[in-house]
């Protein structure tokens, strides 16, 4: 598909609050969506997923469309996030990876040597054609609600590939990074290509914004992030610049990394709950006083969705007020919805935010 057809495929949603806020404008109401809004907190999700493995679900367009729509219908959030997973493009390229319930991605043959890296396959657009098809179904069904596409950033993908699964300390990952930087950079380069192709497939099919998840980047020092990670994430985001859609960059525990993550080229900086939004803005401005004041996304602690309503309301109001320090604020959690969250509370939080 050429770029011209890609651009004409995208809906004109210039007034959608999420996109207005992402560009630093004045939205009709404060926009809100939730990371992991499509998933296990919803009984209708658990019902429809019965008997279908996670990765198979992600490659079944009508199922992806239905699951992505569920939180839109229920909560009235200001954006849909494509139902998929960061390891979908790895599996599509032929890398042996499963998503084990309650565990996360598990890799059959972890990537540990220079030969393992050299053997990694590339991803072609046709291998993720079902994802593109799901995007086309969704843009036809969503009306005026924007659709956010996403990919895992090279570092977070590398951690799963090297460790073989979820890791608390990322020790093998950090060991490779420092002991064998050539192999490390070759691996991150290959993963940057895969992430960029996965995002390109979604953009060509019509997504309205993208988020690059570097969920585990907060495990790194700023020095290591800059040397071993930033150039690769920057390349992924740079390759998408021509699409002209907002690019969000998010990680957990990244208070010390926010300026570096912004340098990766993000239009919107995702912030976790450990640092107040006004402090995040202060750090971003201090790091580059000549750049425009940043647009931020975040940052309610997901655990607080289980707190007493009065306590939760106080936190939502605080975050909304702190977000005023930014040029634009997209309300979200500081990480994903926890599986035991009562979905009726999420709906009530959306109503509260829209009333502010």
85 catalytic? Reply is yes
DSSP letter for each residue of 191-250: HHHHHHHHHHHHHHHT-SEEEEE-TTGGGS-HHHIIIIIHHHHHHHHHHTGGG---EEEE
**Distance of closest approach, residue 39 Cβ to ligand CP3, in angstroms:** 3
Residue closer to ligand CP3 by CB (options 213, 228) is 213
Cα(78)–Cα(222) distance, integer angstroms: 33
Residue closer to ligand CP3 by CB (options 69, 280) is 69
**Distance of closest approach, residue 287 Cβ to ligand CP3, in angstroms:** 24
Residue closer to ligand CP3 by CB (options 43, 181) is 43
23 catalytic? Reply is no
Give the largest Cα separation in the chain, rounded.
Answer: 56
Annotation: binding site: 36-40, 85, 160, 215, 335
Sheet harboring 247-250: ordered strands across? 80-81, 147-152, 209-213, 247-250, 268-270, 295-300, 328-333
How many angstroms separate the Cα of 88 from the Cα of each of 85, 120, 212, 277?
Answer: 5, 15, 14, 31
**Distance of closest approach, residue 134 Cβ to ligand CP3, in angstroms:** 12
Residue closer to ligand CP3 by CB (options 49, 234) is 49
**Distance of closest approach, residue 71 Cβ to ligand CP3, in angstroms:** 7
Provide the β-strand partners of residue 80: 147
160 catalytic? Reply is yes
Backbone angles phi, psi at 288, to 5 degrees: -155, 75
Residue closer to ligand CP3 by CB (options 246, 325) is 246
The distance in angstroms from the start CA to the end CA of the chain is: 42
Of the residues 10, 45, 78, 160, only one is catalytic, namely 160
Dihedral Cα 221, 294, 36, 104, nearest 10 deg: -20
172 catalytic? Reply is no
Judged by the rule CB under 6 A, the positions of this chain that interact with ligand CP3 are 35-40, 49, 54, 81, 83-86, 99, 101-105, 150, 156, 213, 215, 336
Of the residues 23, 40, 74, 327, only one is catalytic, namely 40
Cα(183)–Cα(165) distance, integer angstroms: 20
Of the residues 10, 45, 78, 85, only one is catalytic, namely 85
Cα(354)–Cα(334) distance, integer angstroms: 19
Of the residues 10, 45, 49, 247, only one is catalytic, namely 49
**Distance of closest approach, residue 58 Cβ to ligand CP3, in angstroms:** 8
Annotation: binding site for substrate: 36-40, 85, 160, 215, 335
283 catalytic? Reply is no
Provide the β-strand partners of residue 247: 210
List, by residue number, the catalytic residues. Answer: 36, 40, 49, 85, 160
């Amino acid at each position: 598909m050429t770029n011209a057809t890609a651009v004409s495929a995208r809906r004109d949603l210039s007034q959608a609050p999420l996109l207005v806020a992402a560009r630093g404008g004045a939205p009709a109401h404060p926009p809100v969506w939730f990371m992991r809004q499509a998933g296990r907190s919803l009984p209708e999700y658990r019902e429809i997923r019965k008997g279908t493995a996670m990765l198979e679900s992600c490659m079944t367009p009508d199922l992806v469309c239905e699951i992505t729509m569920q939180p839109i219908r229920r909560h009235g959030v200001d954006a849909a996030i494509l139902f998929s997973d960061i390891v979908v493009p790895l599996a599509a390229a032929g890398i042996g990876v499963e998503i084990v319930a309650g565990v996360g991605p598990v890799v059959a043959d972890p990537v540990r040597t220079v030969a393992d890296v050299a053997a990694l396959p590339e991803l072609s657009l046709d291998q993720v054609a079902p994802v593109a098809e799901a995007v086309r179904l969704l843009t036809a069904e969503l009306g005026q609600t924007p659709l956010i596409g996403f990919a895992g950033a090279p570092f977070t993908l590398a951690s799963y590939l090297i460790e073989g699964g979820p890791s608390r300390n990322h020790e093998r990952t950090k060991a490779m990074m420092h002991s064998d930087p050539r192999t490390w950079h070759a691996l991150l380069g290959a993963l940057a290509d895969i992430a960029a192709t996965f995002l390109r497939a979604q953009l060509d099919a019509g997504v309205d914004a993208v988020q690059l998840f570097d969920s585990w980047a907060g495990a790194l020092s700023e020095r290591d992030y800059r040397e071993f990670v930033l150039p690769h994430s920057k390349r992924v985001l740079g390759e998408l610049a021509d699409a002209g859609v907002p690019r969000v960059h998010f990680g957990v525990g990244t208070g010390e990394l926010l300026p570096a993550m912004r340098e990766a080229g993000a239009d919107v900086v995702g912030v976790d709950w450990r640092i107040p939004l006004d402090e995040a803005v202060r750090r971003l401005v201090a790091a580059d006083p000549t750049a425009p004041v940043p647009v931020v996304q975040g940052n309610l602690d997901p655990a607080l969705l289980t707190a007493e309503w009065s306590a939760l309301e106080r936190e939502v109001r605080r975050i909304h007020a702190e977000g005023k320090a930014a040029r634009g604020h997209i309300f979200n959690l500081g990480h994903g919805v926890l599986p035991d969250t009562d979905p009726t509370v999420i709906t009530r939080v959306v109503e509260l935010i829209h009333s502010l």
